[in-house]
């Protein structure tokens, strides 16, 4: 579901609960996308995954930053011609496909580097009611 308020900020909610905020800047023909899907520990893995998408002309630049909550945010700028709604829709679809590729690569790399989960020691846990 995509909603577009009057200020040019799109909010995209996907069926899996992911949320994208997309801000259009008509003066510079850029679209700014931000999503917080990744944990801070995945920073290097995500950088490596982004390198796989260098051939995508739409992706003009990508940079990573940590939000205050510790989530890793993927921010991408892409050229956007404000000619019609179809151009905008294609831009958003292409950027979502890039994110899907990054997520798939991230998941693949995690599965090959998996380590056994640490079980909590419940014997030292106290609950105050």
Give the Cα separation of 68 and 66 in Å (integer). Answer: 7
Domain-located, residue 71: yes
Instruction: Answer for the pair 52, 108: CB distance below 8 angstroms, yes or no.
Output: no
Domain-located, residue 34: yes
Q: What is the pLDDT of residues 48-61, one digit of tens each?
A: 444 544 433 333 33
Task: Please report, rounded to a whole number, the percentage of residues in the chain having pLDDT higher than 70.
Answer: 0
- CATH number of the domain to which 108 belongs: 3.30.1460.10
What pLDDT, on the 0 to 100 scale, is given for residue 30?
A: 45
Alpha carbons within 13 angstroms on the beta-carbon side of residue 40 total: 7
In the structure encoding, which two tokens stand for residue 105, read together? 């690569």
Domain-located, residue 119: no
Give the Cα separation of 129 and 11 in Å (integer). Answer: 40
The residue with greater pLDDT, 111 or 50, is: 111
Give the Cα separation of 30 and 68 in Å (integer). Answer: 25
Domain-located, residue 129: no
Cα–Cα distances in Å, from 73 out to 4, 28, 112?
Answer: 21, 22, 23
């Amino acid at each position: 579901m995509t909603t577009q308020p009057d200020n040019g900020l799109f909010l995209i909610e996907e069926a899996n609960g992911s949320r994208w905020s997309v801000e259009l800047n008509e003066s510079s023909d850029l679209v700014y996308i931000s999503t917080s899907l990744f944990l801070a520990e995945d920073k290097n893995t995500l950088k490596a995954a982004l390198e796989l998408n260098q051939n995508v002309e739409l992706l003009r630049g990508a940079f990573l930053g940590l939000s205050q909550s510790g989530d890793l945010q993927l921010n991408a700028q892409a050229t956007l011609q404000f000619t019609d709604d179809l151009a905008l829709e294609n831009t958003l679809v292409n950027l979502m496909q890039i994110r899907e590729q990054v997520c798939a690569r991230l998941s693949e790399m995690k599965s090959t580097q998996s380590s056994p989960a640490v079980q909590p020691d419940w014997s030292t846990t106290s609950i105050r009611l």
